Amino acid sequence: MATIKKLLSQTAIYGLSSVLGRVLNFLLVPLYTMVFDKEEYGQVAILYAYVAIFNVLLSYGMETSFFNFINKKANTKVFSTAFISLIGTSLGFFAFAITFNKDISILLGFQDHPEYISYLIWVLVFDAITVIPFAQLRYQNKAFTYAIIKLTNIGITIALNLLLLLVIPGLIREGYSFGDYNAYLSNPGIGVIFLANLIASGVTILMIVPTFINIKWEFDKALWKKMISYGWPILIGGTAGIINEAMDRPLLLWLLPSETAVGEIGIYAANYKISIFMTLFIQAFRMGVEPFFFAKAKDKDAKETYAFVMNYFVAIMAVIFLFIMVNLDVFKHFIRNEEMWVGLDVVPILLFANLSLGIYISLSVWYKINEKTKYGAIFSIIGAIITLALNIWLIPTMGFYGSAWATLAAYGSMALLSYIVGQRIYPIPYDLKRISLYLGLSVFLGLIAYKLFYGNLIVGNSLLLLFIIMLAFFESASLRSIFVKNK
């Protein structure tokens, strides 16, 4: 139970940076949907979809590889080798991308704004370079330092967005002058979003320097080959995984009529943001649980602990799912453009899709600790194939609803496959009956609240309270074992 307490504390601190940061970012949605129309917001969603894809490519599984080898070797060569590798590849990418910036802008359909691409190239490089220093902080259990740096990044991003999109245009309307920049600042475009991101990423680089400035710079070629060998399936799996997460935006752009595609993407992206509260906990959990999985692997009760963690993870996810469902009439107001509310029906689908992804992440313990990461790649590739096939099939007739169903099918299939294969190779005694009960009941109550009592917050939240009481009843014994000191 002491181990579980440690996991909870680490998840809570990482959650501070991840959850609070994403909540603050989510609070920018009202600003963006107020300042920009659905087409402009759609352009932002498209570019950040490409950023997500390249973030995975530029880190090429090195973060997970770092955790695997640092727990076995525990020497500075692991850090320096991984770090030097990422610096080298990031600089190579930067040289290529900047050289062909205009061509890339034309290819992506932003030939009139090549500066957007320039900003994001810098962001991608900065993000890739910080991957290993952030992983080192997690390995050293310096969750507070990690959180401070992450929150500073978010704070700068939000402050600059508010300043450039709201405060300065307001001052200009009041009669203040910014000289030659008045025309641009009075009606800023989406480029200021990317510029704010770039400045925040640059500050992050400066803040994280102390974590590696005193290390001994050594590049162990033999170790690097092992790390690449371990990490390449994660790269393939990560690439396939990001296809599941982000490729729907480009596919919508390509498969919908050109005159409506960008606007539809804007509606889809805005409503997708509502499901962010499901991904908040998933992200915090992943940040805390990945090093925990590796550290716990040698213990005799490791499998029982993993099953215990899954139980509570699903219970919390079920509560979050139901909370959003019963309060969807409130959450929709974060989208300030009512024209985008037509996409609200997509939210329940995306919520359950992200819940399935969370379960898959928790199930991934068996292939990560046993160095069988090729299975993760296989599952993600299968998920990507499902994503691409269903999007191509469904988008022409269902629009972005087809993308949502494709996402659910992909993540659900990945979770199921991981469970089936994992139980044969590294069986973990998951309580399937209890997990199924929690998931089934939360979905059932959520659909009742949404379909029959939409907008009735009293009835909806009463159902939520009833569900929480039921969870407390079933988990009362284990809750006492965690939080009450046994005499």
What pLDDT score was predicted for residue 25?
A: 66
What pLDDT score was predicted for residue 347?
A: 93
What pLDDT score was predicted for residue 396?
A: 94
CA angle 333–336–337, rounded 5-degree value: 120
Say if residues 72 and 294 touch (Cβ distance below 8 Å).
Answer: no
Strand ranges for 307-402 from DSSP E: none
What pLDDT score was predicted for residue 21?
A: 62
Say if residues 216 and 76 touch (Cβ distance below 8 Å).
Answer: yes
Q: Which residue has the tokens 């030659």?
A: 180
Q: Is the dihedral of CA 201, 207, 208, 213 positive or negative?
A: positive
Q: Taking Cα atoms as reference points, which of 188, 255, 162, 190 lies closest to residue 43? A: 190
What pLDDT score was predicted for residue 485?
A: 47
pTM of the model: 0.77
CA distance 206 to 384: 36
Task: List, for the chain, all residue ranges whose pLDDT scores fall below the cut of 70.
Answer: 1-25, 71-76, 287-291, 477-487
What pLDDT score was predicted for residue 487?
A: 42
Domain ranges of the chain: 1-31+247-487, 36-221
The DSSP code sequence of 259-297 is TTHHHHHHHHHHHHHHTHHHHHHHHHHHHHHHHHHHHHT
For residue range 140-191, list pLDDT tens digits in order.
Answer: 878 778 888 988 998 899 999 999 998 998 888 887 887 777 777 788 889 9
What pLDDT score was predicted for residue 70?
A: 82
